[in-house]
A and B are shown apart, each in its own frame.
Chain A
């Protein structure tokens, strides 16, 4: 096949959009969507973010991690579990700080509320309940006194 004919054939294939699959396989595409993710925030006791540090998330029973990466500048990890399960999260910096903990998700990740630490959220529930109970106690005492 002459050189000119070869070039013409390639030009034709290109024009028709018919290209060998090996070429197509390297042509990266992307999509964007707004999905639900588990957002984990890592921070020191003085609230400084555990930023730009390496982490890995491994599903219980698996040997290879499901996700590896670095926390963002504010210490966040965004994680999209593909199934229900327990997930071990390990984040350790080179200078020896880190965390190793497990979370459980069901089929989809959906967080109701903020990304505040668990103790803070439960702490608020406890304080709220105590206030409500206290208020009821005060009202019933007031009503009882008024009756007598």
Chain B
């Protein structure tokens, strides 16, 4: 070895960030939050989003029936109601990857484009459970627990099924706090072991080709949120 000159591969913690959606609840008020989720060692960091990125909001009872709930259209988006499950659908629109970075533009407006996609993202929070909830509540990509997730303990296994357009969705990548843990099988099923107590965030995503001239594909993402005792 010629010189003792080195790069010390550091063992300093690396903070990976992918911005997340989650729902905060105070009584009957459900507020959509965006930023770095609560599991991050740097703590919660909320980022402001454009209110028009929130496309839908819905409130369901334990029978899986949609309830009338008041939606707040300004930032932050809110939903007020006695929801066993609250749900928001967002879309940040078209994205294009270019040699000059990723732009929030459709590919026909972004110049030299390497890849392009339409982003559609939803978040579902479960606060109460009953027999009506092991079924999809929407036609968007949705993670549905097969059993009551609120009774699980850290180390327990969560049995899930991914649904899209009313059908079980196969080949959906499922992550636990951003780290991929599995892919759904032909019946849309996947099991995730819950490692942490308290706040839980399970994310799913998959892509579908798009031929609207504005992007090559749609990236559907969905987050399931609940708390363990």
Chain A residues packing against B (C-beta within 8 Å): 36, 38, 45-46, 51-54, 70, 73, 86, 92-112, 118, 121
Instruction: Considering the complex, give the chain B residue whose CB is closest to the CB of A109.
Output: B7
Shortest Cβ distance from residue B134 to the other chain A in the assembled complex, whole angstroms: 29
Fill in one digit per residue for B13-37: 1 if any A CB lies within 8 Å of its CB, else 0: 1111111000000000000000000
Q: Is the C-beta of B229 less than 8 angstroms from some C-beta in chain A?
A: no
Shortest Cβ distance from residue B38 to the other chain A in the assembled complex, whole angstroms: 16
Check if B7 sits within 8 Å of A111, measured CB to CB.
Answer: yes
Q: Beyond A45-B179, A51-B114, A106-B5, is A99–B18 a contact (Cβ under 8 Å)? A: no
Q: Is the C-beta of B153 less than 8 angstroms from some C-beta in chain A?
A: no
Check if B97 sits within 8 Å of A52, measured CB to CB.
Answer: yes
Which of the candidate stretches B69-77, B100-108, B137-145, B160-168 sits at the interface with the other chain? B100-108
Shortest Cβ distance from residue A81 to the other chain B in the assembled complex, whole angstroms: 9
Q: Is the C-beta of B180 less than 8 angstroms from some C-beta in chain A?
A: yes
**Can you list 8 A-B contacts with CB-CB less than 8 angstroms, sorted by A residue number?**
A52-B101, A53-B101, A92-B17, A94-B101, A99-B14, A99-B16, A100-B14, A103-B9
Contact partner of B5 (CB less than 8 A), chosen from A93, A97, A100, A108, is A108
Residues of A within 8 A of B101 (CB): 52-54, 70, 93-94
Check if A97 sits within 8 Å of B7, measured CB to CB.
Answer: no
Check if A38 sits within 8 Å of B7, measured CB to CB.
Answer: yes
Instruction: Considering the complex, give the chain A residue whose CB is closest to the CB of B17.
Output: A98
Shortest Cβ distance from residue A80 to the other chain B in the assembled complex, whole angstroms: 11
Instruction: Considering the complex, give the chain A residue whose CB is closest to the CB of B35.
Output: A96
Check if B8 sits within 8 Å of A105, measured CB to CB.
Answer: yes
Q: Beyond A94-B103, A95-B95, A100-B15, is A112–B1 a contact (Cβ under 8 Å)? A: yes
Beta-carbon contacts under 8 Å, B28-84 to A: none
Q: How far is B15's CA from A92's CA once the two chains are assembled, in angstroms?
A: 11
Residues of A within 8 A of B5 (CB): 36, 106-110
Q: Beyond A70-B100, A112-B1, is A97–B10 a contact (Cβ under 8 Å)? A: no
Q: Is the C-beta of B92 less than 8 angstroms from some C-beta in chain A?
A: yes
Q: Is the C-beta of B213 less than 8 angstroms from some C-beta in chain A?
A: no
Contact partner of A93 (CB less than 8 A), chosen from B12, B14, B102, is B102
User: Number of residues in B with C-beta < 8 Å to the partner?
Assistant: 30
Check if B8 sits within 8 Å of A104, measured CB to CB.
Answer: yes
Q: Beyond A52-B98, A94-B103, A99-B14, is A105–B19 a contact (Cβ under 8 Å)? A: no
Q: A98-B16, A100-B14 are in contact. List 9 more A-B contacts (CB 8 A).
A: A46-B180, A52-B98, A52-B101, A99-B14, A103-B8, A103-B12, A106-B5, A112-B1, A112-B6
Check if A97 sits within 8 Å of B17, measured CB to CB.
Answer: yes
Check if B12 sits within 8 Å of A105, measured CB to CB.
Answer: no
Instruction: Considering the complex, give the chain A residue whose CB is closest to the CB of B19.
Output: A96
Q: How far is B103's CA from A75's CA once the two chains are assembled, in angstroms?
A: 17
Q: How far is B101's CA from A101's CA once the two chains are assembled, in angstroms?
A: 20
Shortest Cβ distance from residue B1 to the other chain A in the assembled complex, whole angstroms: 7
Q: Which 9 A-B pairs have the closest CB atoms?
A: A96-B19, A101-B14, A108-B5, A102-B12, A100-B15, A104-B8, A110-B5, A93-B102, A103-B10
Q: Beyond A52-B114, A95-B92, is A105–B14 a contact (Cβ under 8 Å)? A: no
Check if B10 sits within 8 Å of A106, measured CB to CB.
Answer: no
Instruction: Considering the complex, give the chain B residue whose CB is closest to the CB of A90.
Output: B15
Residues of B within 8 A of A108 (CB): 3, 5
Residues of B within 8 A of A100 (CB): 14-15, 17
Instruction: Considering the complex, give the chain A residue whose CB is closest to the CB of B2.
Output: A110
Residues of A within 8 A of B15 (CB): 99-101
Check if A94 sits within 8 Å of B104, measured CB to CB.
Answer: yes
